Chains A and B, each alone.
Chain A
């Protein structure tokens, strides 16, 4: 017996219009909240967009935040295509950053072109290693990866606190952070790179890692949709029984995809530590691993969508801090509320407007069909 054919939306509606409508809905509700605490929603919106895109400095900071979210968003997406919900990007980014940071501490006296590959390798290996344990537990022991990756976030946090406070801390000071990296472990800033080719750009933390993230997004796309390994990952994610039938081992895909996912998250330190902080300090991922989940969700787990969503969340982070700075009644927590609303509407409630839209397009195509038969 035939299944009921499901009405599909045109691609441009699915990928373009639906996210925009979701975002608009989030902003409308945010506006109501801002209204409710007695500020003007229009002024707030203007402050936020200006704060995020209004100047070179604003754009620099927005893209700097976005870089973190690209790494973690790609990490969540790769796992997602294998049918795995990696909640642990935060911890993987934290431990991966440890690897990058150790390279910065120990090899920072090398020239930058020699430090970079070592830092990339160390970040990827440390992040992958942190993801390997939950992956192995899922593949061989059936422990659910959602639970184990959450637990590994806490373990990573505790481990890093111990290491930074007791082992790596710069001697003779109170604040829990290491000494600064030597010059070789410093990512070239965007202002420096653009300055070399004669384009003036305000000094911001935006750095070479942004381009690395863009390059990785392209590589992830090639891997997932243009290689036999990516093919195997997607088969296992969409239909594990078909994977077994095809001779693809779901257990191996689970481990492989999580290693890749952890490696991607682990590169966050390139941007955050080598690009901005130049030392290892506590809690440097700052929730980027969790934002990565929202970024991947909103970006439909496609690298292009992830880029767009990462910029949006970068803008929310940067514009939000500007907003809390300029509007006394909108404090940091209010900004978190707004970010939460965006995640709610774009992630959790992403299909709320699908039915009405489908009805509209259904009606349209039926009218078109009637028109044809009438003629």
Chain B
């Protein structure tokens, strides 16, 4: 990495950025200076103000006060167009691509030039060839975006920003959807970009990535910058403590599992999506009392469909799901029947499925259990019982603010998730299905949620954990199943599971013992 030239002005300088939303003080006098040609990390918990700050830098919303200087020149951004004109580019966590356009069409979208599109496309083609040469950013320009793997789609986003003349590139949680090998490629690419004078801002909550690629890192907490350090002078533990404001455990503490009786048996399960495409292809496994089984895989390889089929949300086309509670008989096929058999489910996408955002916490705390006699008095819902139950859950799971009447949308992601976990675990299930338990959850709450899952296991229950966070899978699981292309491609113990091994299997490479043959359907 180039040493920053001390004479040149910083690529981006923020002075005293302040922003309030009503009573929420989202950014408190944030000052930041990022040298040209460096990769700068920005970390913080959810709600620490990273997104707000980047939205201000990218012109999505104005700051209440403070100054933005780009390459030493003071700038005021009224819209993202202004920021783009000043040489700032952003790659969002959720890609902003038109799936049924080609790569080239996506890149010129909005900057086509004149009325006729053909000359613009031709210009773009030659410009992109130069960019690809300079930075090693090859993409098939005429391929439809929908046919590209996620890693390449992200590259298209980066090219889009560069084509618009970005000197400063902001990446928001860029690795969330990538397999480890793709992450490595991305980081090599970012290194090359920085080497050629571009400035990269990496917004993430993954400490390991900060340590791997950044030269400096800024830590935010509660809207303010609490630390700015050179990456080589810090440690992940130190950064985590700065983010949370107290000492945290990065590793899950647990005793070895003592697996008992089989609680859930899945035989030859096949699940199709709405278009009739098989997403889960003949999956078989079993789940025993007192163990956590992790399902690793790149998002979109059938884990979601598997989880939903087990929860009774999707009806499988073929195969068998048996829950031990019912004397080994096949489980009923709707979610309510599954719940009655002792199968609780923490869904992957909390806001889409796990809660009703507009409802109060107390009404979310009975979602799926609202017909239980304990919450009803005759034809009416028992308001006192509903509130009392929610208060107990909030106290037991440290949900803050502990106000059952507040709408769930007013809680942070971590507190929403704790409420959902409380609802499902307190229903006293025999089997808990958990999807992405810590997605969008801050470090403090992650620790708590992991302890709950281990506690459930130690109480003799079975836990099926689906997660795209490999650390979480390796740290929590007693057995690891790897899914790729809708199949379980192998099973590993957490001891033998390295990131590299898992990454290869997730990419569809069968276990080495089988000769390392590539699975064409993998990705």
Give residues in A with beta carbon < 8 Å to B: 1-2, 4-8, 222, 226-228, 231-232, 234-235, 238-239, 241-242, 244-247, 249, 362, 365-366, 369
Contact = CB atoms under 8 A, between A and B. Distances in A.
B311 interface: yes
A231 B381 contact: yes
Given A241-B352, A249-B334, 19 more contacts: A1-B93, A4-B21, A4-B51, A4-B55, A4-B61, A5-B24, A226-B381, A228-B375, A232-B370, A234-B359, A238-B356, A239-B352, A242-B352, A245-B311, A245-B367, A247-B312, A247-B368, A365-B22, A366-B20
B370 A245 contact: no
Given A244-B335, A247-B335, A369-B23, A2 B352 contact: no
A351 B408 CA distance: 23
A357 to B, nearest CB: 13
Interface centre among A6, A228, A242 (most CB of B within 10 A): A242
A228 B376 contact: yes
A8 B337 CA distance: 39
B51 A1 contact: yes
A322 to B, nearest CB: 42
B336 A369 contact: no
Interface centre among A234, A239, A244, A246 (most CB of B within 10 A): A246
A265 B172 CA distance: 51
Contact of B359 (A226, A238, A249): A238
Interface string B17-42: 00011111010000000000000000
Contacts, number: 99
Contacts of B61: 4
Contacts of B335: 244-247
Contacts of A7: 21-22
B399 interface: no
B60 to A, nearest CB: 9
Contacts of A2: 46-48, 51-52, 412-413
- By secondary structure, the A interface counts as helix
Can you list the 5 inter-chain pairs with the closest CB atoms, starting with the nearest?
A: A247-B336, A246-B368, A247-B335, A1-B51, A2-B47
Contacts of B216: none
A134 B415 CA distance: 41
Contacts of A366: 20, 22
Contacts of A226: 380-381, 383
Interface in B373-402: 375-376, 379-381, 383
Contacts of A246: 335-336, 367-368, 370
Nearest to A231: B370
Interface string B325-340: 0000000001111010
Interface in B422-478: 440
Interface in B171-193: 172-173
B347 interface: yes
Given A1-B173, A222-B380, A227-B379, A244 B47 contact: no
Nearest to A373: B25
Contacts of A234: 356, 359
A8 B410 CA distance: 11
Contacts of B334: 247, 249
Nearest to B55: A4
B81 interface: no
A228 B313 contact: no
Interface in B189-222: 203
Nearest to B412: A2
A242 B355 contact: yes
A244 B379 contact: no
A1 B311 contact: no
A245 B20 contact: no
Nearest to B22: A7
A1 B376 CA distance: 37
B353 A242 contact: yes
Nearest to B368: A246
A227 B381 contact: yes
Interface string B498-523: 00000000000000000000000000
B370 A5 contact: no
B516 to A, nearest CB: 38
